[in-house]
A and B are shown apart, each in its own frame.
Chain A
Amino acid sequence: MEIQSQPLDQEEMGGLIGLCIDAATKNSESVEKWRRQRRTLERMPTHLGEVVLQRLLSRKLVYPSLLEIFQHCVGSINLRGENLVDAEWMAYLGAYRYLHSINVSGCRGINNSSLWALTGMDTLKEVDISRCSKLTDAGIVHLLSISKLEKLFVSQTGLTEKGIIQLSSLRKLSVLDLGGLPVTDLALSSLQVLTKLEYLDIWGSKISDGGAAVLKMFSKLNFLNVAWTNVTKVPHLPNLTCLNMSNCTIHSIFEGLADREEGPHLRKLLLSGATLSDINDALLHVEPRHIFFLNVSQSTLQDFEFLGNMTALEHLDLSFTRIRDNNISPILLLGESLRYLNLSNTRLTSTGLGLLVGNLPHIESLLLTHTGVDDSALSYISTMESLKVLDLSNTNIKGLHYLVGHSPDQILTLVELQNLKHLERLDLEETQIRDEAVLPLFGMLGLKSLSLKSDFLTDISLHASSSLVNLKFLGIRGAVLTDAGLQTFNPPPMLEILDLRDCWLVTADVLLAFCERHPRIVVKHEQYQRPVQDLYAFGNFSATGASKAMQLRSKKTKTSCGVGRESFADERLRYTREELLELEFSPWSRALPSNSGAVMPKM
């Protein structure tokens, strides 16, 4: 949902304002200190009121009656996925004077009567109630009185054809998301009166080609999603710029168009998983020179010649297609404009990649995971100097190349990547690389994210990563890291996340000690992460906790683990790794309370 209003970026509030917000939302005691300053709250600009409220929400400090104090200074509220939200919350929100946008998507506590509070709120312009599974036609009736509503998201609710037809009274709607609802041809034709519609999402609906013909009436439509439907023909829509027909069988797009040179043009086309008998026929009426975004992943395409005409293409996703070394040549014609190229999960090998050398001068992202490329591809890739993101995971790359036969002479092939001065993200997971092969990477100081996963990596690689001064994410998974190695590890200065999953030798105590020494770094590991998740489960917290919350909780975790450590420290040794992984998901391991002093089921 790209046009939905973005949640406020709280991190951007710097300076004194940021300090004030931190101090105001520190804990429930600080809220008590200011919550009675009603006159101040009434004068507060909405952008500040919204940030304070949103921050309180993320810290789980909001309870229904607290909502009342924000009724003058909040215009937009995002409660997405908050399971506590129910009719009581909505009753307080219904009293907000200037509320123009409300998002309660995925709130499981919302039912039909909860929406009653919104009846007749003439300030509201945007309502998102998608994925509220208890909502049915009876609930949507409450929204019909909001005459100024412009944006409505009701995807994946319990609405039926009858409820959808009623939406036709909301004449000001420009955005309507009916994804995953049983929209029938009849329902769609009754919505024809919504002539202001610019955005219509009816994926997974019951409409057929007959219903799709009605779409012509929405002359202002610029976004249309009919993925997972039986639609095979989309009529000409003069203002359409983005079309999603993923997982459809496609016969024609824009049939009936006299002159394809006319008007605004289709720029974004998503045909992932589509069945295309003849792509040239299907796209006959689409002007190829204006398309800049194309996703044909998992489609049945055999012939890729049509790509040659799409000279403005910037984003091309060909993953899981039948593209291979001998039919990749049309991509060469795109060259100049291409920024993103996804060739993962194809039969491409280094030979095919070699053909692209010198033809992709501005390429920034190249994804080659699950392809047949090997070390010889690295020299080709090194010529793509504008690369920022490179995914080589699950490939045949070893990082070493033996010169002749079985001679002991070998070259470190990853040295080639040092040529990529702009590279920020590199993924080499699930490859056969060893410590000595990885070493050249630690000279690439621009790297911000590095993902490695290999059974052959050891503490040597971990320690070498200290040199990457800009690194924010480091993953060394499945490696033979030791406690001693982690204890002496001096992490890169900017590091935020350290992913050590599947490093089976590292023990929980050492991980906790590491987290205590480096409170800014979030560590991911089976031994460390689980207690945190348990805390969430028992505290009624949503699973969407941010990394910061995780850090906050790490101390609690420590105290609960600290009790009786000796009694279970050796439990791990009794089980094999496979058994332990099974235990991780067993019900009893979650059933133990984490805060009652009982010992956590450690693995």
Chain B
Amino acid sequence: MKKEEMVTLISAEGFEFVIDKKAAMVSQTIRNMLTSPGSFAESREGKVTFPEISTAILEKICQYFYWSLQYASGKETEFHIEPEMTLELMMAANYLHT
């Protein structure tokens, strides 16, 4: 896998999640950051920091990105969300336009 096809998402605590660019683009917000014509630091380096999103939530969001791609390609499985994290996850998803 080439480096350009990956992006790094960094949580509030500094954990780095390296995922496929294609998966990250499920988020409209990340898509805008990575593709906007201006020279966002994010689009040059392929690194996006989310100081508001905790590691556990960001991990779940990365899982969702991949699940969403699979779902779109016809593999209809259930995406389980633990009730404890629904509120935090909902707010992160709202921020990421997912």
List A residues at the B interface (Cβ < 8 Å): 15-17, 19-21, 23-24, 26, 29-31, 33-34, 37, 40-41, 43-45, 48, 52
Contacts and interface: CB of A to CB of B under 8 A. Distances in A.
Chain A CB within 10 A, most for which of B84, B89, B90, B96: B90
Contact of B83 (A23, A41, A43, A48): A23
B86 A23 contact: yes
Contacts of A31: 83
Nearest to B89: A20
A23 B83 CA distance: 6
A17 B94 contact: yes
A37 B83 contact: no
Nearest to B28: A15
B86 A30 contact: yes
B61 A24 contact: no
Given A16-B93, A17-B94, A45-B94, A37 B87 contact: yes
Contacts of A15: 68, 93, 98
A336 to B, nearest CB: 42
Contacts of B86: 20-21, 23-24, 30, 33-34
B87 A19 contact: no
Nearest to B97: A15
B81 A23 contact: yes
Contacts of A44: 87, 90-91
Given A16-B61, A19-B81, 8 more contacts: A17-B94, A19-B64, A19-B79, A20-B87, A37-B87, A41-B87, A43-B91, A48-B90
Nearest to A16: B93
B2 to A, nearest CB: 28
B6 to A, nearest CB: 21
A16 B98 contact: yes
B88 interface: yes
A113 B64 CA distance: 49
Chain A CB within 10 A, most for which of B68, B82, B91: B91
A37 B96 CA distance: 21
Contacts of A30: 83, 86
A31 B87 CA distance: 10
B69 to A, nearest CB: 13
Contacts of B90: 16-17, 20-21, 24, 44, 48, 52
Contacts, number: 63
B78 to A, nearest CB: 9
A226 B68 CA distance: 54
5 closest A-B pairs by CB: A30-B83, A33-B83, A24-B86, A20-B90, A16-B93
Contact of A16 (B83, B87, B89): B89
A24 B81 CA distance: 9
Contacts of B93: 15-17, 20
A499 to B, nearest CB: 29
B54 to A, nearest CB: 11
Nearest to B64: A16
Contacts of B64: 16, 19
Contact of A26 (B83, B89, B91, B98): B83
A487 B79 CA distance: 33
Contacts of B91: 40, 43-45, 48
Chain B CB within 10 A, most for which of A16, A26, A37, A44: A16
B83 A29 contact: yes
A48 B90 CA distance: 8
Interface string B61-81: 100100010000000000101
B81 A20 contact: yes
Contacts of B96: 16
Chain A CB within 10 A, most for which of B68, B81, B87, B94: B87
A48 B91 CA distance: 8
B79 A34 contact: no
B91 to A, nearest CB: 6
B83 A34 contact: yes
A52 B68 CA distance: 22
A20 B96 CA distance: 14
A502 to B, nearest CB: 37
A24 B83 contact: yes
Contacts of A37: 87-88
Contacts of A29: 83
B84 A48 contact: no
Nearest to B96: A16
Contacts of A24: 83, 86-87, 90
Nearest to B92: A16
A41 B91 CA distance: 10
A48 B94 contact: yes
